[in-house]
Amino acid sequence: MLHSSFISKSNGTKFPSFASANATLSSFRASSHFQMGLKWSRIAFSSSSGQRLSSKARSRVKHRTANVYGRQARERVLEEEAPEMAEATPSFKIFPGQAFPLGASEVDNGINFAIFSQHATAVTLCLSLPQRGELDMLAGGMIEFSLDPNLNKTGDIWHICIEDLPRSNVLYGYRIDGPKDWDKGHRFDSNNVLIDPYAKLVEGRRNFGDAKHKLSKFLGTYDFDSLPFDWGEDYKLPNIPERELVVYEMNVRAFTADESSCLDQDIRGTYAGLIEKIPHLLELGINAVELLPVFEFDEFEFQRRPNPRDHMINTWGYSTINFFAPMSRYGSGGGGAVSASREFKEMVKALHGAGIEVILDVVYNHTNEADDKHPYTTSFRGIDNKVYYMVDLNNKGQLLNFSGCGNTFNCNHPVVMELIIDSLRHWVVEYHIDGFRFDLASVLCRGTDGSPLGAPPLIRAIAKDATLSRCKIIAEPWDCGGLYLVGSFPNWDRWAEWNGKYRDDLRRFIKGDPGMKGAFATRVSGSADLYRKNKRKPYHSVNFVIAHDGFTLRDLVSYNFKHNEANGEGGNDGSNDNFSWNCGFEGETDNVDIIALRFRQMKNFHLALMVSQGVPMMLMGDEYGHTRYGNNNSYGHDTALNNFQWQQVKIYHFLNNFDLNSTCLMVLFMLKQLNARKSDHFRFFSEVIHYRQKHRVFSHENFLDRSDVTWHEDNWDNPDSKFLAFTLHDKGGGEIYLAFNAHDFFVKVSIPPAPPKRRWFRVVDTNLASPDDFVGEGVPGIGSTYNVAPYSSILLEAK
């Protein structure tokens, strides 16, 4: 177990030597003994005493080929005299190094490298000093230092310090060997050069989706040359109270990758591209973005071998290579890891400047390294598989798979737990992140043997950590092993949850399923049945109808069945339980009545989401009605299927001024009608979000009691009743009346009297055409009854 951790507060921080604090290291001071523990490859170096190597044993120099992952790696031995080699290369002094901090760090006498491996028997540090522009090829091979376990090891941590290394632009990794006992959970293979789990930056191919470098390698790097990032004198964190959040789930690349973004090609699909589109987020009204994974991942992982998915590019990023490094190919202009890290900070700074918090979707439940049948070994598997992954020692050491992705990270092992905590702290301290959504978080509630834990150490540590205390922490409370914890996720009164029951119940009620009225009322009032425990609050329910996996909102009202044929798995992937309704026709149609009903249903879903107690979350693109044409698992499509279509937001303004007396009159007219509807759709979504934020009655600190809400209902037990009306009471005297009609016929409803000296104004009627469907100041003249149209909803405000 590790007993200390480190978080870099700036790129240029220098750390003092730890030798005096650790008596174990005192034996390393005799450099004449220390040099015997090293094996030089390709280049001969000076020892710490400055004397060059000359023994015959060192005259045989190994040169490693550029394929550092070594599945096809070859070695050739060059018979050369070491002194002649040394004359052509620079000299480096080497020292024993220190165990902490893990990763690469700058210390008083050089660059220190430290890595954990409990079961390794041999560790070799590999360095490459390529010229800029050669990173994709790793031209020139690698310099290797074999670490002596008697001199370069403290406990289970291997370490070395090298003087005179460049302070940046160095690539590094490790070859690690150990027991070959597969049945005991080991997967050591010294042919692979592995990424340091604590590498703060990772280099690979420079441009996203660059097929010329499809099999590019990934290695750690560091940057101690750059000045600390300037966050600005007037900079401050938004610190938005949890109950006031309106979350926008989005993908950095997909947000601006499409040419319709009208951005320069170099910044499409990048952190810089997102900055350019912040005005859209402000117009929409959200105040927090939840970014799909932005940790380094390999978008070409599906194309490394022939398989049914080898036409796909991973655009969602749920396949982490390293937990500290930002995705380098989300940086603009192919600038590499250092530039991408700086650009990521610029994005966070710009979002914070606009009053928008940044929540990261983090994937600690598994990694990119896949399964035992087709492993993609880049780091943890080769460093210490038995520690980093859950293995079944009763079944020949096979990997356990609670993630559905071939492996399961061993999150509650003390070393792995500390890695995760260190990673989270790093993102908070270095990048000023405001919160985290934990993918398949039930995995984090499993012990090292995969069994569920009542009080998982990692979950508690995250809840109690001082550095993370200001952060929002959100669980996706299920996994692929059946551990469904919605409403019962271990929480220490800190953890919020994606409320999967909210999603399912709202979908079923709005589409008109029988017997759902009571469940709908429970969900919109804050899911007290799930979260009214101990000191939990309504905002511990993150409410959503749509998320990245599953149908988009438009597809939810356009398809009864998933259409995932393009994914290459015969339509077997993706969920079958979508609770969707196509409104009378499967897929795209030109039937104006069906189109109108679909847009009305989308407005009903959005209104219900924004008036519910708890934290609402919507998906990028739903504000204009994005479609994936029924694909409910579009993770591997770097196309318009996923990419935000900016013309859908802005084309109406062009068409509205276009000369309809020109040729192709009918085509342009049809386009105008369709895009007018989409533009009106955006307007409605934006207005409803802004309305929520102006009215505290939708975001109570505590669960509703009888003084907060009146249910206008005496027909709870009738499963055929699909109409619900209620009034939310504002302690300041204002009131909001809401009614949702999921019947296929009009319902004439009695409107309760308005409070004294006030009268009712109609703000929302989803059955009306824009702009009458939302009128912020309200429309007067509401009588004692209101005829609520089929599949529609209304909101009245007492003024």
Indicate which residues carry an active-site annotation: 439, 476
**Rounded-to-integer distance, Cα 416 and Cα 300, Å:** 27
Tokens of 691: 């309305």
Residue 348 to residue 58: CA distance in whole angstroms: 50
d(CA 67, CA 2): 33
Among 527, 535, 542, which Cα is nearest to 441's? 542
d(CA 269, CA 561): 30
Please give the structure tokens belonging to residue 98: 């220190």
472-475 and 435-438 beta bridge pairing: parallel
CA 380 to mean position of chain CA atoms:
20
Core vs surface per residue 650-665: b (16+ CB within 10 A) or e: bbbeebeeeeeeeeee
CA distance 348 to 291: 11
- Contact between 240 and 222 under an 8 Å Cβ cutoff? The reply is no
Give φ, ψ of 94 to 5 degrees: -125, 150
C-alpha–C-alpha distance, residues 236 and 470, integer Å: 13
The residues near 482 (Cβ < 8 Å, ≥ 6 apart) are none
Check: CB of residue 744 under 8 Å from CB of residue 723.
no
Q: Where are the alpha helices (DSSP H) in 491-536?
A: 500-510, 517-524, 528-531
Q: Which two tokens stand for residue 610?
A: 């924004």
- Which two structure tokens, joined as six digits, stand for 71? 């599945």
CA distances from 417 to 114, 157, 387, 463 (A): 18, 16, 11, 13
- Cα–Cα distance for residue pair 532/513, rounded to 1 Å: 27
What DSSP letter does each residue of 535-558 carry, written as one string?
T--GGGEEEES--SSS--HHHHTT
Among 399, 330, 338, smallest CA distance to 367 is for 399
CA distance 168 to 286: 39
Backbone dihedral region of 113: left (phi > 0), alpha (psi from -120 to 50 degrees) or beta? beta
How would you label 173-192 residue by residue, b for 16+ Cβ within 10 Å and e otherwise? bbbbbbeeeeeebbbbbbbb
Task: Please name the residues in contact with 115: beta carbons below 8 A apart, sequence gap of 6 or more.
Answer: 102, 103, 123, 157, 158, 159, 174, 196, 197, 198, 383
The number of beta carbons lying within 10 Å of the beta carbon of residue 21 is: 10
Beta strands in 607-765 (DSSP E): 615-619, 709-711, 723-729, 735-741, 747-750, 760-765
Longest dimension (CA), the chain: 102
| DSSP H or E segment with residue 85 | helix 82-87
Strands 709-711 and 747-750: what pairing? Answer: unpaired
Phi-psi region of 97 (alpha: psi -120 to 50; beta: other; left: phi over 0): left
- The per-residue b/e assignment along 688-716, b for 16 or more CB within 10 angstroms, e otherwise, is bbbbbbebebbbbeebbeeebbeebeeee
Mapped onto helix, strand or coil, the DSSP state of residue 430 is: helix
Beta bridge partners of 501: none
